[in-house]
Amino acid sequence: MASIPNPLDTSQETLNQKQGFSGHENREDSTKYVFLLPAVVWILVFTIFPLLYAVYNSFFSFRYGKINQFIGLGNYGRLFTDANLHGALWITIVFVAVTVSIEMLLGLGLALIFNREIYGKNVWRAIMTLPLFATPVAMGYLGITLFYETNGPVNALVSALGGIPPPWLSNPTWAPIAVMIIDIWQWTPFVFLVALAGLQGLPEDVFEAARVDGSSGFQLFRHITLPLMAPILWLILLLRLVEAFKVFDIPSSLTLGGPGRATEVYSLFTYRTALRFFDHGYAATQGFLLLVIVSIIISLLFGRIRDLYEVSR
């Protein structure tokens, strides 16, 4: 790792000599690496090294957690034929599509509603941030009591509203919905907070001008608020999609992936491949497939939010 600063150092020195920097400035050049290098080395050691190790493992079959034999791309081939993996991927895609779209709509709607002068605004906003750092595992665990089928609070409400209480956690159709509800509870505030911050940063004079022109509330939203908010909304969408694809904690504690495999999301499936079946090589290839999916999402959406980062830099 110590080899990293050297090529940079020399290039920096030559650059400085060309530009006629003083010797004093040259001394500073080594100081700047004192600041940057600890973090760079740290990340190299703790992410690049394990990633390379995962690549290496992915070319081997494992037996009882020990390398068995080199199988080349065999593990990657299994990605295409493993019906259980496809099932987990499909469950995750449905989960992502449903939760992220509801979170976006609810969060933006709430932000529009809260974006005005109301009494005790800071207190309301603080309450809305509470779910963000509520331990997801603990929320899943609490969900067992919230969705308790006989007399749990959710079913008590359903009954009171005249509905038939659904078998939330024991039924393969309802269990994923329960997981989604907890996720929506937890992450709608994220969309809300960021969208609200965006709304409050919009220039007021544009709205004044449009109102003078006689635009209605919906026209204002459609033709002014929405286009101005677009980069921030794309950013929220990107961050939510990426996070949602990695979902693990809530289904692990609320439903343990069940009933059957109904809530066995992608990361949970990979975790079990790795640490229940000790098929380390295959688990590594599954991890890379998830990385590819996340990278595709980022490359598709990042162009739309680049402005946001350029402005803030």
| 168-227 binders of another protein (CB under 8 A) | 185, 189-190, 193-194, 197-202, 204, 207, 217
| Using rule CB under 8 A, residue 128 touches another protein | yes
How many positions of this chain bind another protein (CB under 8 A)? 105
Does the protein bind another protein through residue 90 (CB under 8 A)? Answer: no
- Work out how close the CB of 184 gets to another protein at its nearest, in angstroms, rounded to a whole number: 10
Q: What residues contact 291, with CB distance under 8 A and at least 6 apart?
A: none
Contact track, another protein, 107-126, x by CB under 8 A = ---x--xxxxxx-----xxx
- Exactly one of 6, 19, 35, 212 binds another protein (CB under 8 A); that residue is 35
- Residue 249 sits in the site that holds another protein (CB under 8 A): yes
Place of tokens 């070319």: 59
The answer to whether 238 and 305 are in contact (CB under 8 A) is yes
Which lies closer to another protein via its Cβ, residue 14 or residue 101?
Answer: 14
Region from 7-15, 68-76, 80-88, 95-103 binding another protein, contact rule CB under 8 A: 7-15
What backbone phi and psi angles, to 5 degrees, belong to 61? -90, 150
Q: Measured from the CB of residue 266, what is the shortest distance to another protein in angstroms?
A: 8
Q: Which parts of 292-311 interact with another protein (CB under 8 A)?
A: 294, 298, 305, 308-309
What span, in angstroms and rounded, lies between the C-alpha atoms of 283 and 269?
A: 9
DSSP classification of residue 264 = -
The label of the residue with tokens 């039924």 reads: 171
**DSSP assigned state of 44:** I
Q: Give the CA-trace dihedral at 282, 284, 289, 290, to 10 degrees.
A: 120
Please report, to the nearest 10 degrees, the dihedral formed by the alpha carbons of residues 62, 64, 68, 72 taken in order: 0
Residue type, 305: I
Q: Note whether 277 binds another protein by CB under 8 A.
A: no
Stretch that binds another protein, among 9-17, 78-86, 89-97, 170-178 (CB under 8 A): 9-17
